[in-house]
Amino acid sequence: MTTVNTPIIAFNRPYLTGKEAHYLYQAVLSQKLSGNGEFTRRCHDFFEKRYGFGKCLLTTSCTDALEMCALLAGIGPGDEVIVPSFTFVSTANAFLLRGANIVFADSRPDQPNIDETAVEALVTPRTRAIVCVHYAGVACQMDALSDIARRHNLLLIEDAAQAVDSYFNGKPLGGIGQLAAFSFHETKNIHSGEGGMLAVNDPSFFSKSEIIWEKGTNRSAFFRGEVDKYNWVEMGSSFLPSEITAAFLWAQLENLDLIQKRRLQIWENYRAGLADLETSGDLRLPAIPGFATNNAHLFYVLTHGAAVRERLLTRLKAAGINAVFHYLSLHASPFFRKKHDGRSLPWSDFYTENLVRLPFFFEMTDEQQGRVIEELRAFFR
């Protein structure tokens, strides 16, 4: 059991702004606890106004938002969807549920995002969509991906789970593809325990997205008085969260700027404290391309080889520091291995074997961060 006073440094601690309980209480008093109420509307407005997303719909998770993308895209058996291998399961699984063949793409050599130069060779007449993941909140090369999608008439879908408040050449992530999915899981910059959101940027999907969200009915249009009864009009499911989730999230959104400011400081401290380990060639630090911003979602280092990483993680653990690796290439997973077409994806495997995420949370103290930095430096001395 860990207690507040143990010297263990957690990998993540979900931040509470202090207003969550207040808004939860308001939601309870309103006696309107099912979805699509006042707090849900506030959250939608926040994202639509601040980032110019076409239409926002809160969901119970990013996984659900991705499943909505697959339904909206009309993905069916035999359709191909291009997805990076170095990502979370849901990025691929959402499309697989609809019968798609997943075609895995490799990562960039300089950072874990999809290698945009390797995507076009994967396009076939059956390809329907490209799903890109903004790893660590750092933008993929969206001009190149948009161009490929346009020329081949494919949907471009952003898995923006980690990418709240981040930009590509001045454009907010989540607002570039026709569809985008965000996560508010407690490991993300802002959270509601579990939670997510679909951003719909292509107006031709507006009405259908709302129907899919509401179990395949036109209930939202009914409540706006646009139809006189509500009916089953599409395939859908129950994707909307209750007002309890939305009320919690609202407290976080009100504090987004404060949260981001502190997270960026923590990120900069790591970079400054570890810079000479990169100069000496012991580690690689995250690369942020000129077209991307940093939203300080996470801080990772790259070791030279799986054996070094193993020793490093063991040492950090012994020092009470919970650093962790990240994704395991999906193309080589027990579930997918036999379905994969056999191409090797060396960069995805490289990040699988060499990436270490350091403890990172809003309330992390400078003293805690100093301990992590010092332990890494001592390891390489």
Ligand X SMILES: *Cc1c(COP(=O)(O)O)cnc(C)c1O
Give the footprint of ligand X on this chain (CB under 6 A). 61-63, 87-88, 90-91, 133, 159, 161-162, 183, 185, 196
Burial zone of 178 (CB within 10 Å; 0-12 exposed, 13-18 middle, 19+ buried): buried
- Cβ at position 375, least distance to ligand X in Å: 26
- Cβ at position 64, least distance to ligand X in Å: 7
Given the complex with ligand X, which of 63 and 217 has the nearer CB atom?
63
- Cβ at position 343, least distance to ligand X in Å: 22
For 196, phi then psi, to 5°, come to -165, -175
CA 94 from centre of chain: 14
Given the complex with ligand X, which of 183 and 252 has the nearer CB atom?
183
The DSSP annotation for 290-354 comes to TTB----S--EEE-SSHHHHHHHHHHHHHTTB--B-----GGGSTTTTTTS-----HHHHHHHHH
- Cβ at position 62, least distance to ligand X in Å: 3
- Cβ at position 184, least distance to ligand X in Å: 7
* Intra-chain end-to-end CA distance of the chain, in Å: 32
- Cβ at position 352, least distance to ligand X in Å: 15
Given the complex with ligand X, which of 238 and 279 has the nearer CB atom?
238
Given the complex with ligand X, which of 183 and 293 has the nearer CB atom?
183
- Cβ at position 249, least distance to ligand X in Å: 12
The DSSP annotation for 347-367 comes to HHHHHHHHEEEPP--TT--HH
Residue 187 to residue 170: CA distance in whole angstroms? 26
Strand, coil or helix: 132: strand
Given the complex with ligand X, which of 90 and 127 has the nearer CB atom?
90
Given the complex with ligand X, which of 93 and 178 has the nearer CB atom?
93
Q: What is the largest CA-CA distance in the chain?
A: 73
Strand, coil or helix: 131: strand
Given the complex with ligand X, which of 66 and 302 has the nearer CB atom?
66
Tell which phi-psi region holds residue 173, choosing left (phi > 0), alpha (psi between -120 and 50) or beta. beta
Residue 223 to residue 217: CA distance in whole angstroms? 12
Look up residue 180 and give its two tokens: 């985008």
